[in-house]
A and B are shown apart, each in its own frame.
Chain A
Amino acid sequence: RKEVEQDPGPFNVPEGATVAFNCTYSNSASQSFFWYRQDCRKEPKLLMSVYSSGNEDGRFTAQLNRASQYISLLIRDSKLSDSATYLCAVKGWSGGYNKLIFGAGTRLAVHP
């Protein structure tokens, strides 16, 4: 089982749609959670950290469910510019040190 799993998609949605991504992780000792965005042929960039109480940044809402070991990202009112791959990342103790592990990413394509 992969340490961090995501639905690869692609998610094809029209502008203005609401779309949700889920991510599950296997290490119950995980402590920190992030969503990154990666554009085609570019490096990943942090979109938002995911806090225990959930957090929102404009059209983006992140949630954490520790009991079920999953995190989610909700994008409201999708824009063409949201088209990208969204990577879930989890940091936690494994093998005696902290590791930042990424999921394989979920591709989002927003069309007019």
Chain B
Amino acid sequence: DTAVSQTPKYLVTQMGNDKSIKCEQNLGHDTMYWYKQDSKKFLKIMFSYNNKELIINETVPNRFSPKSPDKAHLNLHINSLELGDSAVYFCASSQDGSGLYTEAFFGQGTRLTVV
């Protein structure tokens, strides 16, 4: 059983297209995140949701729109893709975003390449 699963694993698309990445966690966690890992391997937080409510939006372009239909799912939609959006996008979840020592579990990542 995969705890945090993302689809697709690979995504190659042309500039200007719109694409979505889906994430689901079966851990019963309250908090879910999207991170972006660029070519320099820096893992940067983009969004965080707690019980379907957006709690962190880290100055991400509004072309990126997260959606959480329920606390087990957090999807990421990207409009008008640009070359600079090429990166690996990781979904993660944790038991309680406000708790101490609540580790985050990561999905396998979605490798997005914009050509």
Contacts and interface: CB of A to CB of B under 8 A. Distances in A.
A32 B101 CA distance: 6
B40 A43 contact: no
Nearest to B58: A99
A73 interface: no
A105 B107 contact: no
A100 interface: yes
B34 interface: no
A97 B101 contact: no
Nearest to A48: B103
Interface string B12-47: 000000000000000000000101000011111100
Interface of B: 33, 35, 40-45, 48, 55-56, 90, 94, 97-98, 100-109
A34 interface: yes
A87 B43 contact: yes
Contacts of A42: 108-109
Contacts of A31: 100
A100 B42 contact: no
B103 to A, nearest CB: 5
A105 B45 CA distance: 15
B66 to A, nearest CB: 15
